[in-house]
Amino acid sequence: NLHNIGRLTMTVTEAGKLLGIGRTSVYAAIRNGELPSFKIGRRILVPTSALARKIEGLQQGQRLKEELS
């Protein structure tokens, strides 16, 4: 469960692994405003809570799509 990771943030690479996409796609999602992030020094970090909300939103959208089919 993503809520039980115990960390407040994760790297772009870690976020990509959880989402099943590559780093370039994560950077694109950040750039497009689809995925919140912030920068500390040279590192871009993704808040774990934001990633959890994104995944839950995608799952809800998929369920709605299936219900409408």
What is the 3-class SS of the chain, one letter each residue?
A: CHHHCCCCEEEHHHHHHHHCCCHHHHHHHHHCCCCCCEEECCEEEEEHHHHHHHHHHHHHHHHHHHHHC
- The pLDDT tens digits along the chain (69 residues) read 555 567 899 999 999 998 889 999 999 999 999 999 999 999 999 999 888 888 888 788 777 667 776
pTM of the model: 0.75
